[in-house]
Amino acid sequence: MCLGFTGSGVAWANPAHDDWVENPYAPHVTKGTTARLGTVVGAVHGERQSVTAIGLAAAVGQRFGRFTVESEYIYLGFQEQGSSSLRLGDGHRLGVIGRFDFIRIGPRYVGANSLLSVYVEGGAAVAWNRWSRPSWDEASRLVQADTKRVEGQVGFGIEIEHRLQEPIGFPRRIGWFLGLRLGLAPHEAGPASICRGVSCRPAPMMPEESYTDRSMLFQSSLAVTW
């Protein structure tokens, strides 16, 4: 009878989860789809007028251990440098970035299930800059011609991330990025106008002071991996 009761049930083990970690101090395995969203602030130099740039960045990609490939979109609002908040135009960046974690500090030094990485990155993007005219009640000012060009991008920064020891669905990892990105594009001497409202007149040409247009952007992003 005992055999009848004990033999009628079969014990089943819980299904295995490759991403579960029994030891919170085990080495990190970073793979899977990644996405991030954050803010951008910096400056754009080299065109007829240097400006402050403030905006948002969004990216999605794939992680292969220490190496990550992302497609990224950045929106920038341009305003006068200094204390002025006068809006001058906006910019868009659409590109591909490769990132490599060349230094990693694991959980035994930064805490259970945590990882600190120092990374370098590089890639290319198409950059659109659009410049707006002043309204009728604003002072006349320089308005640059709209531009579209390909720029090379390089950068570096740090990422602090935490893995979920027993993840359920989305996400498996969550992290915070802080980095500096430099963009370089060949300088093109485009036309410009002095405008107020709908009234514009050509602006005098300026001497060439640089062979490249440059942008320097600080990024702060929240990233997830699943």
- Its pTM stands at 0.83
226 residues of the chain, pLDDT tens digit each: 444 434 444 444 444 455 678 889 999 999 999 999 999 999 998 777 789 999 999 999 999 999 999 999 999 999 988 777 788 889 999 999 999 999 999 999 999 999 999 999 999 999 999 988 887 777 777 788 888 889 999 999 999 999 998 877 788 999 999 999 999 988 776 677 777 776 777 777 665 565 678 899 999 999 999 9
Distance CA 145, CA 113 (A): 51
Domain range list for the chain: 30-187+208-225
Distance CA 153, CA 95 (A): 9
Structure tokens of 209? 């002071």
Residue 34 Cα distances to 12, 182, 189, 225, angstroms: 34, 22, 39, 4
Structure tokens of 118? 């120092």
The CATH class that applies to domain 30-187+208-225 reads: mainly beta
